[in-house]
Amino acid sequence: MEMLALLQADAEGLKMLGTGVAAGLASVGPGVGLGYLVGKTIESITRQPEMGGEARTLMFIGIAFVEALALYGLVFAILLAFVL
């Protein structure tokens, strides 16, 4: 009987570990993407300052899409922790 309780505790611990890994990876990928996106926007504005407004607008649209990916990953991690 104690062995079954230990196996259930181990399964719960592994589930929480998987949740942490999923949340971490969901944060790292978009973080790298945002850094790349903002860096390239700054680079393009320094090359052509007259296109700064349009580049900035496109950057914010791209940021919205990248942040949506981060939110999907975090929702998946929460589902993994509390529902599955």
In this prediction, residue 10 carries a pLDDT of: 77
In this prediction, residue 3 carries a pLDDT of: 65
For Cα atoms 79, 82, 84, give the angle at the middle one, nearest 5 degrees. 65
In this prediction, residue 7 carries a pLDDT of: 65
Q: Would you kindly state where each structural domain of the chain is located, as residue ranges?
A: 2-82
In this prediction, residue 6 carries a pLDDT of: 63
Top CATH class, 2-82? mainly alpha
| Helices 52-82 & 2-47 angle (0-180, nearest 10) | 180
* Averaged pLDDT, groups of 10, the chain, 84 residues long: 66 84 88 94 94 93 92 88 82
In this prediction, residue 18 carries a pLDDT of: 85
Cα dist from 80 to 21, 25, 54, 75, whole Å: 11, 14, 40, 9
Token pair listed for 24 = 């971490």
Residue position matching structure tokens 């922790």: 81
